[in-house]
Structure 1
Amino acid sequence: MRFDNFDLNLLVALDALLDHRSVTRAAAQLNVTQSAMSSSLKRLRLALGDELLVQSGRGMVPTAGAEQLAPLVREQLLRIRSLISSATAFDPATSTRRFRLAASDYISTVLLVPAQRRLAQLAPGVGLEIAMPTTGTSERLGKGEFDLLLTPREFAAKGHPYDRIFEERQVVVGCSTNPLLQGPVTLEAFTDAGHVAVRFDGRNTFIENALEELGLSVRIEVIAPSFVQVPYFLPGTRRLALMHERLAHQMAQILPLAIAESPVAVPLMQEVAQYHSARSGDAGLAWLRGLIQQVVRELEDV
């Protein structure tokens, strides 16, 4: 094929088609008509000499050649977008860019909320779109669907760079009147008590994994879908929870909670901000990463 006559916009259409495996959904994503997307598919088939997608029942199935092309096309589109971003000066005062982040409610509460306040001062037109992590978050980062993934290092996607944000300790939290917290919490009291735990999309968090690696089993009475909900299940009960220290102290300002040192030697959690390798030269993303690091330093100085 002749690349000097190839419309590079067709690569965007190809990426959408291979991702959705549907002309209708690909057209909706790119905000074009279904006939325009069908025309793009026809031109792609002619240019590449491959059917790319074939009808199978009510759906479409990619050919072997399309399966090989899919990750390559996605990667090159990301690099082209990063090249354009790096060649374009980023002015936070006038930018209207919306950054897409994957972050738990824990890191959103302790870091992104104060970062957003600084963002509103320095870049009033810039927005944040934050999604809770799921089992597919790393794959979505690899597809370029997120600008940043804020996560414990253990859950970072392979093959992509990250910035270290901070280290986090884990502490024992319970109701302020809980007799188990009127003195140092013993290992026996900790393991015998009922606990509140967190699972995302059926997956353990750093805390649950750490306890398993230490060979400790606790009696879980409540499984919460988010970190911020955990302390609400503690007042008026004898339950305990192992919580991130920064979040625990924030929640203790609004709920009747007591905080104690953990009798379990849980390793420090390394929180990181990860981005796609193709976006290393993204000027806007570099600015946001720098802002996050600045906010972390300011919070640690308080």
Structure 2
Amino acid sequence: MQLDLNLLTALDALLEEGSVAGAAARLHVTAPAMSRSLGRIRKATGDQILVRTGRSMVPTARALAMRAEVHALVQQAHRLLSARQELDLAALERVFTVRWHDSLTAACGTALIAAVHRQAPGVQLRLTAEPGTDTPELRRGEVDLESSSGRSTLSGIRHRLIGRDRLVVAVRPGHPLTEGPLSLERYAAADHVTVSRRGRLHDPIDDALTTRGRERRVVAAGPTTAFALQLALDTDLVVTLPDAVTRATRDQLGLITLPLPLPSPDIPLYLQWHQRYDDDPAHTWLRDLATETVQALFPPPPASQEALTPGPGSDGYAPEPAQEG
């Protein structure tokens, strides 16, 4: 009998559960996938393994005879592999690629690099900018960890919600909008700059204004948050952007923060990675360290809290219509 570990694990589940559906649920795979595994097991063993009697399935005599040995083999293999997964951070040598939105890198990049170097001095960290278009690097393993304001719909991509942000308005000291309460009318009448890697002059704020019978004039689109904030400091342009991930930069520049004068949904922040790293202890360490670093900006929300989330094609860190993965 020639079976790989995946088929041995499937066989163990099938013999324990006594059904394709039960084994599939146990291993978190689809019933069709488990049926295909059963077919491969039957071909490899030359035995039916499970046969249908009425509305249920029962193991064959051969299956009953091998059940205890198969279970012992699977448990032994898992113990052996687990023993090899002991993580020694002091001896770890690896290059990780982290692709974050520029505002998140500015807010947390230094702290993440310092924490990584302190705990695992042999690890190298590559912080790269988000591209202007959606790319498959996460699936190909070229990017280890990615930030997103929406959950990916791509197969095999895992996500972790680590916080929710809110939109605020930033202007230079002495800006006319700082004189008195910021009304919707005064906000809409000002000149604005958007943050867009694609150079978009329109974002969801414009849609929200339209529903209220208002329209704003966007003078420019900046490719990064840092550029837009500097532009707001040097001119009378107004920039609307997430609060927590830009707070440190706004404070450094001395910008004035005003509340957005219209309701908007919270902005979720996700970390994403490929499922191939689920059981990788070094990657798990990096995910947890990145989560801890980012959550220092804001506490995680209750698990039951839901918000409108943009899809994987969203441009930057701003609210868009929900596209659940």
Could you say which TM-score interval applies, normalised by the shorter chain?
0.5 to 0.7
Over the matched positions of the two proteins, sequence identity in percent amounts to 22
Match of residue 250, structure 1, among 245, 248, 251: 248
Q: Which residue of 2 aligns with 1:210?
A: 204
Structure 1: unaligned runs, 5 residues or longer: 1-83
Letter in 2 for 1:244: P
Partner of 1:60: none
Alignment check: 8 A CA contact 1:196 1:224 kept: yes
Report the Cα distance in structure 2 between the residues aligned to 1:86 and 1:266, rounded to whole angstroms: 49
The letter of the residue matching 1:128 is L
Q: RMSD of the alignment, in Å?
A: 2.5
Alignment-derived partner of residue 115 in structure 2:
118
Residue by residue, what CA displacement relative to the aligned partner does 1:182-214 show, whole Å, maximum 9, x if unpaired? 23211111111111111114568xxx6432442
Give the match's secondary structure for 1:146. Answer: coil
The whole-number CA distance in structure 1 between the counterparts of 2:83 and 2:255 is 47
Question: Residues 43-94 of structure 1, C-alpha deviation per residue, up to 9 Å, x if partnerless?
Answer: xxxxxxxxxxxxxxxxxxxxxxxxxxxxxxxxxxxxxxxxx99954332222
Give the superposition deviation at 1:249: 2.3
Q: Paired residue for 2:165?
A: 168
Paired residue for 1:262?
260
Partner of 1:78: none
CA 121–234 in structure 1, closer or farther in 2 if over 3 Å, else same: same
Find the partner of 2:144 among 147, 150, 153: 147
Rounded Cα–Cα distance in structure 1 between residues aligned with 2:245 and 2:291: 18
- Counterpart secondary structure, 1:161: strand
Distance 1:86 1:277 in 2: 21
Q: What residue identity is the alignment partner of 1:219?
A: R
- Are 1:103 and 2:97 counterparts? no
Following superposition of structure 1 onto structure 2, how do residues 212-251 of structure 1 map, counting pairs within 5 Å?
212-216=206-210, 217-251=215-249
The residue type paired with residue 133 of structure 1 is: E
Q: Does 1:284 align with 2:282?
A: yes
1:272 corresponds to 2:266:
no
Q: Counterpart of 2:7?
A: none
State how far apart, in whole Å, the 2-side matches of 1:143 and 1:253 are.
38
The TM-score normalised by the length of structure 1 is 0.64
The 5-angstrom pairing of residues 79-90 of structure 1 reads 87-90=84-87
The number of residue pairs the alignment matches comes to: 214
Kindly tell me: are residues 203 and 141 of structure 1, through their superposed partners in 2, closer, same or farther at Cα, counting changes over 3 Å?
farther
Which residue does 2:154 correspond to in 1? 158
Structure 2 segments unaligned to the other structure (5+ residues): 1-80, 300-325
Contact 2:191 2:219 in 1 (8 A): yes
Q: Is the 8 A contact 1:86 1:282 kept in 2?
A: no
Inter-partner Cα distance in structure 2 for 1:230 and 1:121: 33
Which has a greater percent of helix?
Answer: 1
Cα distance in 1 for partners of 2:296, 2:248 equals 16
Contact persistence 1:85–1:283 (CA under 8 A): no
For 2:226, what is the secondary structure of its paired residue?
coil
SS at the partner of 2:233? coil
d(CA) in 2 for partners of 1:151 and 1:288? 17
Cα deviation for residue 250 of structure 1 reads 1.1
- Pick closer, same or farther for the CA change 1:256–1:111 going to 2, 3 Å: closer
Q: Could you tell me how far apart the structure 1 residues matched to 2:262 and 2:231 are?
A: 22
| Cα offset, 1:104, TM superposition | 1.5
Where in structure 1 do 4 or more consecutive aligned residues deviate above 6 Å? none
Moved more, 284-293 or 182-191: 182-191
